[in-house]
Structure 1
Amino acid sequence: MVKSSIACGLQACLGQQWTKDDYSDFTVVVDDQEFQCHKFILGACSTFLNGLMRSDMIENNQHRVVLTNVSKETFTVILNGIYKGEDGLTVDNVIQVWNATHLLDIAFLIEECEEFVMKNITLSNYGDFYCISHSLNSEKVLKSVQRFMMDNFEDFQKSTSFYKLSFEEFLVMVDDHFLQIKSEDIVVDAILNWVKYHTKKPIVSTVMKSMTYLSKEQTLVKLLKAARLCLASRECLEKLMENPLICSNPEALKIVHESLLFHWQAKCYGSNYIVRYRECSGVSNVMAFVSNGEIKVYSIQRNCFYKIYP
């Protein structure tokens, strides 16, 4: 087991030795600035540089490599992390550092960047973090950003990042029990806007890692089914009945009509429709049981039982 005090002491010694340029045997050139480094240290941390140093490439023979697509400021942050254990990440530089650590394949710094991003997602940067997590295939960061988008859906659906969502990503959001909204009308408007935006090109579904091209009609139906249309306002549903996207799609028209029936029947004499409520609604779907003279209910979403007292 690694003892933290020993590890920190070793890190401090490495940092002191590096700043003196003693025993350096490898030069990294970034933006015409030379960084004196050590093969053993870089090779131990970077899979990319380790492979280069073990090869017959000219960079290894000359003990020198020129890095492109990395700034000297970014590389300084990386070297300080490697040699000194310093955390130089900021909201302004984390994307550049994360990209560079992926290029160099430095696992522990990649993880540091991911953890930093997940702790610093805001309304001003979630779009950039969404794009970079997609680009670098970081599943855990992508999930954190998507969770933030769902928690702030009303702002998110007005942004340009909203239209970059894949069909599967948007479908998951619409269907999510924990989507934070004030009204289901907002979800309905978001669906119409997203479908309109993507009507000029076929929508690709990659479920089960196979590509399927969905029509505008298929996409609209799947999204409407995932929404809680019964929870949308009557005014919203009546407008939908007149919307060209809905009127030209018999299956979508049927879904909207059934949701309107829920409103009419509930107002007149009750309804037998089963409505899926979202967490933010304050209402939960439950199943009721009678056991030993007691009435108990089971919350489907929360996976727990409640007892009803007389």
Structure 2
Amino acid sequence: MTRVLQNLRGAIAVVLMVLVTLLGFIPLLPSCLIKLLSPWPALRRPATRVVLWVAVWWARGINAAILGMGRSRVTYDQQVPDDPNGRYVVIANHQCWADVMLLCHVIEPQLPFPRYFIKEQLRWLPVVGLACWALDFPFMQRHSRAEIEKNPALRTQDMETVRRSCAVFREQPVSVVNFAEGTRSNAAKRKAANSPYRALLPPKAGGTAFTLNAMHGVLDGVLDMTFAYVNQPEPKFWDVLCGRVPQIVIRVRKLDVPADLMVGDYMGDADYRARFKRWLEGVWAEKDIEVSALQDPRQPGTRFENTPASPS
């Protein structure tokens, strides 16, 4: 009976999220149409502000459903500056679909609303895909090694997407988020990638390097965000919604990126590329120690008590 009630709780959370999304679509659609069709920047700019307002309140509603129904205790250890007009890059690991929404919960309203590197397929997701386009999210193709070998021109396609998006982001407050692993980590994916980490996939350094290069000169900081689902080595979004994940730990710290890594030719300079990869892999090695320890099911359930009442 307990599991039935948990599943009912998850189903209610899904219904609430669908309702929040449908409500958000009412002001979203006309704003997106204005941005798409208007030849006048004077109209497109306020339309973008309306889309951003909808996105902020949509994220708050979705997080209320996730945390209200799932009842996970979210433990924060954060160094988030109070700078809603700044420009930041956020580098994060990816364990579960809940990461995407919880990231909004952590940084908003202290920092600007996040823009994510997201998969091209999500462009066609109803309502959400439209909002992502209107907010200038970079849609990444993420070609396979075989595809790139067949057509080498694909190698730089995602990097051009990053450049175009960051050219827009340089002119507005923004938190650019890169889930550097490129996908959610699990045991099968780690084995396929021959990952040297216990809980994480190897980070893809190119997207992070290109973002830092493209935002150089206007960037106010680089943040490292770590997600860990306590005692859950393979966290599932459905389990979070159903209340089967009692504690989630989110840690944020400001990264001191070496000055010589902030600017460089990642594609053309082998030395710069090697140095950037070593630096990011070092960040990932530290993160892996934290995540693997917290998600180990053999350890006690609550092991981190520095918990503010709210991230906001």
Q: TM-score range by the shorter chain?
A: under 0.3
Greater RCO, 1 or 2 (C-alpha within 8 Å, sep 6+): 2
Higher helix share: 1
Q: TM-score, normalized by length of structure 1?
A: 0.26
Q: TM-score, normalized by length of structure 2?
A: 0.26
